[in-house]
Structure 1
């Protein structure tokens, strides 16, 4: 089978499309014929060697956590899923023609494989950081870097829970954020004052790692009311860095429910063929996404 692999840490140019042996589903796992794989910032952070403590790997290594596809092998002890089922979930080495998943759910009706591949990690992350930051119905959550996959999920989940969201993102994404029900404003000079003009802030999330931790602490008045998933230096300012996933199966189950109720939709901004994974990583690292980027297999 074909897969994307890298044999050394570095920039997007270390990614190679190679021939590899097909993986097999061990106990408690399933294998899918991959139709699409989600592109996440953690993918290029792993490729750069940034997060080896949380994601230890042996080189050469595959790339990718999220995927959607068709089940073609079921491991020992697995129940409730059959060969031929359309599923989405999380595993390893998903930028490939075949991948093994450790967590999965049946794809909701109406989703394409490309759309489904964009949900697993971002929904788990969104649910986790909303829980960890402790925002409650009736309160206001400030989200910096709000237009990407995690931000899109946070905005919709928070709104469904009765939380007001103030979203900060680039000028090109303002209409998109307003369309998701957020009070939106831009970065740039005076952004803190613009946020204050939209109302008091009870909690804040840094999803972009754009160097705004001090301002988020200033706006909330308490570093314990701020969480980052993107700034590795956040703990130096007393802010929690959330990088350890919770229950992915539970997150997928909640995602299925939200999608079925019409409360969650994450658009695919751009799709890339497997051979252009390096371009997908470069674009992801540059930021400014509106929704998700995915690899089509």
Structure 2
């Protein structure tokens, strides 16, 4: 019986453990690189996923990540960064990992078969949510059960798997198949498949941030500046966008209560009230708000 690609043993002439240090490390790097390349064939589906995520978070929906094992860890890593990077309210980003998020590094394998826990996740979904389910194999019971039941709750499903024609992908509104190569260590999907899944999540969430207007000229203009480094970054963003000095940027941030987008407009000459009105009028997108401010100033 043929194995799924994620379980295949590499057909390389020399097995990983028979290589010297340089050869073994090079082999693993090659597999990781090939796994990343698999994303190039999925850009259309990645964009469709980002569109769903942006629509949910721009409205009243939530982004719910659901996965088990190493796929769950990739989901957690992506989800944990979104509130700080894009200023998305914490309660709008949920992580539902089989067995719960491991607090001490313990991650029992049997939790991925717990479909009763999957039912509890389904009971918590609501219309307008987007559920992002992951499984390298595409057959893991926990995320597959969630994918199959989410539509009945009015949620949309984005699925990421590394084997085609699998139940997880079949249950999705947007199915993203990442055709990663056999692992350097057969079946260890924390490696190539995990790398590809994390990269896919990076692309989806960052593209969604762009669509929501939280990226301007490659900068995070909706970041939460809750430490010294990020406060400095926020001031630098305001200075660069508005073309002002550091003191003016810092003053604008104070007047905007730390919010970068309105601070950029304030530094460019708007009152706090005008800055907020312009952003509201342009769906939170800074570029058209700046354009409208300039038009007002030139009138």
TM-score range, shorter chain: under 0.3
TM-score by length of 1: 0.24
Structure with greater Cα Rg = 2
Q: Which has the higher strand share?
A: 1
Normalising to structure 2: TM-score of the pair?
A: 0.24
Relative to its length, the structure with more helix (as a share) is 2
